[in-house]
Amino acid sequence: MLYNSAMDIFLKGCDHKYAVEQMLLTLYPDERPVYPEAPGGADRVEISLRRGGKYASAVCRLSREGKNAVGQARFALGRAEKAVDAVRLEQRIVKLAFYRAALALGHDKPVWGSLTGVRPAKFFTNLMERDSLSFAQARRALTSEHGVDPDRAELCARAAEAAISARASLTEKDVCLYIGIPYCPTRCAYCSFVSVDAPKILKTIPAYLAALEREIDAVAAAVRETGRRVISVYMGGGTPTTLSAPQLDRLLGKLRAGFDLSACREFTVEAGRPDTVTEEKMRTLLSHGVDRVSVNPQTMSDAVLEAIGRHHTAARVAEAVETVRKVGGFALNMDLIAGLPGDTPEGFASTLDKVLAFDPENITVHTLALKKGSKFLTEGASLPDGGAVGAMLDTARFRLADGGYRPYYLYRQKFMSGSFENVGWTKPGFENLYNICIMEELCPILAMGAGGSTKLVAPGGIVRRLMAPKYPKEYMERVDDTCASKERICEFFRTLDKKEGF
């Protein structure tokens, strides 16, 4: 992150630096937080928190570019039965006071209001569960208390609804599996993933798959030993269909031999790059029970495809979709990105129309996020401004809703154009459980492969994370350690089953 200036921060009566910095990043992303000993800088935020008999109150005094404003927020102490609730509510009012001071100073209202987190729907369900609000009250609180715009509150409410329904369908023994294939045929200009494409590195695929098979054995043993039930499998990357049909056949066979998939409700394989889709590969996936694939054009404009370094045309996307449909038996997801270089609201609307004509079961609309490592950041790019990106997302909401799709999961990322959101849309009945589970942290995700992030979830949220080495070379070298770490999965589930605390 490159900062253009600094904001002095003073906290009195609390030490909620993280909450203040999250709000600073949302409101003034170019300003670096500094904590000087004494007031001095012209741009500063002073937040004081006071706990009285009935209320905890936060007051924020914000000074910027010669102007001053005050914002306040409070909560009734009776709402915080446990210490952890008090901390959470304190952080919330600290952010709210800062947010209100910024609006009083003339800051434009962000579409997500005072919300800074990456999972707005989880914020919504927390309002219901931790603050004991009804669904309708939580929805009202989003717009009235937290300043979320009504369209985003609607997205959030629908995603929360899907999360509540998914949670009701899960048992405490359920787990999802993730398998990472960090290889792509070529690298997209906006990519920051640990995906590798150089021909020399692509030659390492067989060795990578051999290491991955060992990790699959270790995770499968942990799942069997602890009596867990696999309900969803997701193979992502990278682009898993960079593998040849025989490689996919062997890998999927290995998964089916290791895990009991009889209770598995869905099996996704990302075929993100249309230039990797062949009939032989699709038939291989189908023969192993894969029932959802994701072909991701990002845009249907050839000029924009070229600008993002995709070495294929929109016509190739149409061919890939035709192949998927010809083989049959798959729900189809298609990813789009709003805010790509050279794109316009009109161009994005045309992309939407073309993708809607393919009639996919899911459409995921991302907003471009500028991440470290992407060419757009290192080499620069001419990107649509926040207003244009907002117009693209408005068009997506209206057209997808008109086309019979509804939002079912969403998340936000740091450094996203206009601080908007990514939204998964679905035709009724085609919600992807894995996406809901990972976004809402509903059940453990057991990840295999380079960069895999296993999330062990207990009631109340994630309590353990296990990370595999990021890069394929490192992953292969350290696969013994990665396999040995699976004992921690067993320990976690044993503790959970004994209902002992963490």
Kind of pairing between the strands at 362-367 and 422-426 = antiparallel
The set of long-range contacts for 423-426, using a CB threshold of 8 Å and a minimum separation of 24, is 423/155, 423/159, 423/364, 423/365, 423/396, 424/362, 424/364, 425/362, 425/363, 425/364, 425/365, 425/400, 426/361, 426/362
* Residue from the set 273, 292, 366, 412 that interacts with ligand SF4 by CB under 6 A: 273
| Using rule CB under 6 A, residue 432 touches ligand SF4 | no
Which of these ranges, 84-92, 161-169, 182-190, 484-492, lies near ligand SF4 under the rule CB under 6 A? 182-190
Nearer residue to ligand SF4 within complex by CB, 113 or 237: 237
| Using rule CB under 6 A, residue 238 touches ligand SF4 | yes
C-alpha angle 413-417-418 in degrees, rounded to nearest 5: 100
What token pair was written down for 488?
A: 């921690």
Which of these ranges, 11-19, 234-242, 384-392, 440-448, lies near ligand SF4 under the rule CB under 6 A? 234-242
- Give the nearest distance from C-beta 212 to ligand SF4 in angstroms: 17
What token pair was written down for 186?
A: 């070529």
- Give the nearest distance from C-beta 466 to ligand SF4 in angstroms: 22
- Give the nearest distance from C-beta 28 to ligand SF4 in angstroms: 29
User: Nearest residue by C-beta to ligand SF4?
Assistant: 191
| Using rule CB under 6 A, residue 188 touches ligand SF4 | yes
Nearer residue to ligand SF4 within complex by CB, 27 or 314: 314
Nearer residue to ligand SF4 within complex by CB, 12 or 311: 311
| Using rule CB under 6 A, residue 195 touches ligand SF4 | yes
Nearer residue to ligand SF4 within complex by CB, 183 or 493: 183
Nearer residue to ligand SF4 within complex by CB, 188 or 290: 188
Q: How far is residue 223's CA from residue 230's CA, in Å, rounded to a whole number?
A: 8
* Residue from the set 191, 314, 327, 416 that interacts with ligand SF4 by CB under 6 A: 191
Cis peptide before 53 (omega within 30 of 0): no
| Using rule CB under 6 A, residue 272 touches ligand SF4 | yes
Which of these ranges, 75-83, 200-208, 232-240, 404-412, lies near ligand SF4 under the rule CB under 6 A? 232-240
How many residues bind ligand SF4 (CB under 6 A)? The answer is 11
| Using rule CB under 6 A, residue 239 touches ligand SF4 | yes
Nearer residue to ligand SF4 within complex by CB, 26 or 298: 298
The set of long-range contacts for 79-85, using a CB threshold of 8 Å and a minimum separation of 24, is 79/131, 80/56, 85/130
Q: How far is residue 368's CA from residue 371's CA, in Å, rounded to a whole number?
A: 9
Angle between helices 433-440 and 120-129 (to 10 degrees): 70
What token pair was written down for 344?
A: 């316009």
Q: How far is residue 182's CA from residue 191's CA, in Å, rounded to a whole number?
A: 12
Positive or negative torsion for Cα 293, 294, 300, 306: negative
| Using rule CB under 6 A, residue 141 touches ligand SF4 | no
Which of these ranges, 186-194, 361-369, 387-395, 435-443, lies near ligand SF4 under the rule CB under 6 A? 186-194
Residue 266 bridge partners (DSSP): 232
What token pair was written down for 482?
A: 């990665």
* Residue from the set 61, 107, 187, 406 that interacts with ligand SF4 by CB under 6 A: 187
- Give the nearest distance from C-beta 301 to ligand SF4 in angstroms: 17
* Residue from the set 62, 177, 184, 216 that interacts with ligand SF4 by CB under 6 A: 184
C-alpha angle 128-130-134 in degrees, rounded to nearest 5: 20
- Identify the CA nearest to 124 among candidates 345, 343, 411: 411
| Using rule CB under 6 A, residue 317 touches ligand SF4 | no
Which of these ranges, 120-128, 190-198, 392-400, 453-461, lies near ligand SF4 under the rule CB under 6 A? 190-198
| Using rule CB under 6 A, residue 369 touches ligand SF4 | no
Conformation bin of residue 55: beta by default, left when phi > 0, alpha when psi is -120 to 50: beta
Residues that bind ligand SF4 (CB under 6 A): 184, 187-188, 191, 193, 195, 237-239, 272-273
